[in-house]
Amino acid sequence: MIGDKVNKWLIKAFEDFKTVEHELTFPNKEIVTSSVCFHCQQFVEKLLKAYLTAKNIDFKRTHNLDFLLKLCAEQDKEFKKIKIGDLTSYAIEIRYPDEFYIPTLREARESYKISLKVKDFILRKLKIKEDMYIK
């Protein structure tokens, strides 16, 4: 049984996931790649925070996935196997006009693949079924 705070992290995480999956249903020319990449980053961030919360590990307010992964790996060495690519950069760099960047469709699809792997890994670690959060 997971706690209320973990559940809330997962609910918010799967809101991001649903946004990504919805966006990817559009024809390639209509996909907003920056949105896909941003929500993939947010999804992974919240999954990692759900895991840390479940383990009663405090973490500061951050979007840095490498930092969060390091904290997770201190609890479970298997986290060292997770590869997150450039996901952290999508938290900020694509959100503000002074650091303007539009990811390619390939980057968006790669971000999605990474987020799927992290999702499966974290849900397995937390012993949670995805259908609890995807309706």
Per-residue pLDDT of 37-80, as tens digits, reads 999 999 999 999 999 999 999 998 888 999 999 999 999 999 99
Find the domain containing 37 and state its range: 4-132
CB-based contacts of 33, cutoff 8 Å, min separation 6:
102, 103, 104, 105, 107, 108
Q: What is the pLDDT of residue 100?
A: 72
Q: Are 84 and 69 in contact (CB under 8 A)?
A: yes
Q: What is the pLDDT of residue 94?
A: 64
- In this prediction the pTM is 0.93
Q: What proportions of the chain, in percent to the nearest 5, are helix, strand and coil?
A: 70, 0, 30
Structurally, the chain folds into a number of domains equal to 1
Per-residue pLDDT of 20-32, as tens digits, reads 999 999 999 999 9
Q: What is the pLDDT of residue 130?
A: 85
Q: What is the pLDDT of residue 135?
A: 60
Token pair, residue 79, equals 């986290």
Q: Give the Cα-Cα-Cα angle 133, 90, 113 (nearest 5 degrees).
A: 50
CATH number of the domain at 51, please: 1.20.120.330
DSSP, res 56: T
